[in-house]
């Protein structure tokens, strides 16, 4: 099962609580909670919504800096460095440059041929 919370207002620990409560009624497996951080927009989002982003990042199993191909290497490293202050598992993700895709597949415990 894959669930994407698009509103950007729910904290990760709230999602974990809700998903575990659902197990009382329905049997399903819950995989890792992944927070996608929009790399190019990170600086503005961090300035405007820092407490929210901190809550989404701190309780995530993995944080992926997405759209990293649109950033220079220094900005990517700065973003990763800031995020590592709140979580250990931060990866760079770019489908354009095929960066982080293999690592994400391992995290999801899938093999690329499954897709």
Does position 13 have pLDDT exceeding 50, yes or no?
yes
Q: Is residue 102 part of a domain?
A: yes
Number of domains in the chain: 1
The string of pLDDT tens digits covering residues 89-107 is: 899 988 788 788 888 878 7
Q: Is residue 6 part of a domain?
A: no
User: Coil, strand or helix: which one is 79?
Assistant: helix
Beta bridge partners of 9: none
In this prediction, residues 29-42 reach a mean pLDDT of 84
CA distance 98 to 5: 24
Confidence grade of residue 55 (pLDDT, cut at 50, 70, 90):
confident
Q: Is residue 45 part of a domain?
A: yes
Q: Is residue 70 part of a domain?
A: yes
What pLDDT sits at residue 71?
93
Q: Is residue 71 part of a domain?
A: yes
Query: Rounded to 5 degrees, what angle do the CA atoms 109, 110, 111 make?
Result: 130
Confidence grade of residue 41 (pLDDT, cut at 50, 70, 90):
very high
Confidence grade of residue 111 (pLDDT, cut at 50, 70, 90):
very low
Beta bridge partners of 92: 65
Q: Is residue 26 part of a domain?
A: yes
Domain of residue 97: give its range.
12-110
């Amino acid at each position: 099962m894959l669930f994407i919370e698009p509103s950007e207002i729910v904290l990760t620990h709230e999602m974990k609580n809700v998903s575990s409560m659902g197990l009382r009624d329905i049997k399903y497996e819950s995989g890792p909670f992944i927070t996608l951080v929009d790399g190019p927009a990170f600086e503005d989002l961090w300035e405007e919504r820092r407490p929210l982003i901190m809550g989404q990042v701190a309780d995530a199993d993995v944080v992926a800096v997405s759209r990293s191909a649109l950033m220079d290497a220094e900005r990517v490293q700065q973003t990763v460095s800031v995020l590592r202050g709140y979580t250990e598992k931060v990866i760079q993700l770019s489908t354009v440059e095929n960066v982080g895709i293999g690592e994400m597949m391992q995290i999801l415990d899938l093999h690329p041929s499954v897709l």
